[in-house]
A and B are shown apart, each in its own frame.
Chain A
């Protein structure tokens, strides 16, 4: 295959964007597997698509508007029922304001 389509450093970067804390083993494995998949996907470049419009979905539907009607929402109790941690009123998460700039 020669040069990998996606090397270890790129996998690390994509993992960061994906919010996945991958192990070193997974990073190495994904570099190989994703490279093989991307190698296969290269076949799309056999096709000239310079005059083709992209197709995001197949429906004859564009904007779907409806009346703005007030309806009952889930409510706090149901909304928090599946939360890993809550105080009955709010979701509880670790502090988010200590390290400005890290995002």
Chain B
């Protein structure tokens, strides 16, 4: 029974729960059986809430039994990246500096999940403060890729991606500042959506790069992304950068998900394929061929400023981070050193003892970029280049409905492979970062496997606030393929993909 339940998508599970065909408590039990069996190896979760989740599931089951109205995620077990504040459990950001932090309030997305009757089962691992591309920068735990335990799950939402791929939850929330939803989604073979900047409230998301951060879902398939976006999107008075309904009305992203986009025009940037592994290029080109066969028109374009996105990003994001992370002072909350002689040392030693290397490196780089004498040459220059990068996107969307490219130049790399050289790690975000700088929505869906049976992601990017169309475009591909239905085999040394929905691990 529990294996049957685990195969369901969120959309399917929610329907079955509301019809009384499956109990939420059964789904929660199934998920915890799975976590107890596999998470010792995978390491996706930093904390779980088994008792509370079971109690909540039973409440929802009894509401349904009494015929009461329930929400869009009724009884569905969901995981949340541990950089979103919850009044229950801790909110650690995978940092020693917040290891014991208990938030006095919920992030808006958490309140929205709860209002939709979701069951939050646990909080997932990440690169410390979401700074990284492999989850290896977590200060608290190691997470591995469910497809190959010697490889990284991607990052920074690596725990969320691994948890969805390993069927230890039905969907998860992640955050994406430079690719942190899309790249782990690609590495773990799940769907991941970064909405338009401003679509989802960032209230209660621990800030990293505030002009770039955006919360989004990681799910088994595109329809589940649409369902999750339905729940979390919308204006929030507590986040002045969340757009109002007049500027960009939200809609029902699930209602027309199966309606193909007529006269679809897809832009591709041939130069951008040069930097990717040949197997990744072949899979992405194969995916574009499938669209072509469905009468999509492929338009070759140039994005002359795209290649500058990593350089601009690592100034802008680190500058914002250096300011955002000034709040960790060893005074108001979080870790305090035991070795402070005076109040200055409370700051300097608390921060030095509790921040990890990557966080320190980014604070240093950002502080340098903002410091007197360097501001114009670095920070201001990067903001101007950001404008040029955005103009590339604006020009592209005048010609096409979306842009397609790989999510990542490679499949999941080996644990430790890029840890010695931070610049090499940064360069692995080459395809995702420009999307954040331009503020547009982007998505990764599975489009193939390499010779090591590691998932390959197709990135689809659309214009500002066009998530509805973006999701429909992604769904057109899923309707013709079964990459999204393949699951990793865990717990053995050999991994094999499964070819039909009926098979499972």
Write the residues of chain A forming the contact surface with B, with a CB cutoff of 8 angstroms: 6, 10-11, 14-15, 17-23, 26, 30, 33-34, 36-38, 40-41, 43-47, 49, 52-61, 64, 66, 74, 78-79, 81-85, 91, 93-96, 98-99, 102
State the CA gap A26–B387 with chains docked (Å): 35
State the CA gap A47–B330 with chains docked (Å): 42
Residue of A nearest to B307 (CB): A43
Asked whether A94 lies within 8 Å of B340 as measured between CB atoms, the reply is yes
From 208 to 265 in chain B, residues with beta carbon under 8 angstroms from any chain A beta carbon are 211, 237, 240-241, 243, 247
Asked whether A21 lies within 8 Å of B352 as measured between CB atoms, the reply is yes
Asked whether B347 lies within 8 Å of A19 as measured between CB atoms, the reply is yes
Contact-residue bracket for chain B: 35 or more
Partner of B343, one of A44, A55, A96: A96
Tell me if B197 counts as interface (CB < 8 A to partner A): yes
0/1 string, B35-63, CB within 8 A of A gives 1: 00000000000000000000000000000
State the CA gap A74–B381 with chains docked (Å): 40
Q: Which of B5-13, B355-363, B408-416 contacts A (4 or more CB under 8 A)?
A: B355-363
Tell me if B380 counts as interface (CB < 8 A to partner A): yes
Chain B binding site: helix, strand, loop or mixed by DSSP? Answer: helix
Nearest 5 A-B pairs (CB), nearest first?
A: A58-B439, A82-B333, A54-B383, A84-B336, A21-B348
Q: Which of B132-140, B276-284, B365-373 contacts A (4 or more CB under 8 A)?
A: B365-373
Tell me if B449 counts as interface (CB < 8 A to partner A): no
Asked whether B345 lies within 8 Å of A21 as measured between CB atoms, the reply is yes
Tell me if B422 counts as interface (CB < 8 A to partner A): yes
Write the residues of chain B forming the contact surface with A, with a CB cutoff of 8 angstroms: 100-102, 104-105, 197-198, 211, 237, 240-241, 243, 247, 305, 308, 310-312, 314-315, 322, 326, 329-336, 340-349, 351-352, 355, 357, 360-361, 363-365, 367-368, 371, 378, 380-388, 390, 422-423, 426, 438-440, 464
Asked whether A49 lies within 8 Å of B211 as measured between CB atoms, the reply is no
Taking the closest CB of chain B, its distance from the CB of A80, in whole angstroms, is 9
Asked whether A6 lies within 8 Å of B368 as measured between CB atoms, the reply is yes
Residue of B nearest to A94 (CB): B343
- Residues on A with C-beta less than 8 A from B341 are 94
Partner of A49, one of B100, B311, B335, B384: B384
Partner of B384, one of A34, A54, A99: A54
Q: Which of A15, A36, A47, A96 has the most CB of B within 10 A?
A: A47
State the CA gap A15–B352 with chains docked (Å): 10
Residue of B nearest to A97 (CB): B343
Partner of A20, one of B105, B335, B360, B388: B360
Given contacts A14-B368, A84-B331, contact A61 B247 (CB under 8 A): yes
Residue of B nearest to A43 (CB): B311
Chain A binding site: helix, strand, loop or mixed by DSSP? Answer: loop
Taking the closest CB of chain B, its distance from the CB of A82, in whole angstroms, is 3
Asked whether B361 lies within 8 Å of A33 as measured between CB atoms, the reply is yes
Given contacts A53-B384, A54-B380, A93-B343, contact A14 B371 (CB under 8 A): yes
- Residues on B with C-beta less than 8 A from A58 are 197, 211, 390, 438-440, 464
Asked whether A59 lies within 8 Å of B347 as measured between CB atoms, the reply is no
Partner of A94, one of B346, B367, B390: B346
Taking the closest CB of chain B, its distance from the CB of A5, in whole angstroms, is 10
Residue of A nearest to B352 (CB): A21
Taking the closest CB of chain A, its distance from the CB of B92, in whole angstroms, is 12
Asked whether B330 lies within 8 Å of A95 as measured between CB atoms, the reply is no
Q: Told that A19-B344, A57-B211 touch, could you supply 4 new A-B pairs with CB distance under 8 A?
A: A30-B361, A49-B381, A64-B240, A66-B237
20 contacts between A and B (CB under 8 A): A14-B371, A18-B363, A19-B344, A19-B348, A20-B355, A20-B364, A21-B351, A26-B360, A33-B361, A34-B365, A38-B365, A43-B308, A44-B311, A46-B308, A59-B439, A61-B240, A81-B104, A84-B333, A84-B334, A91-B332
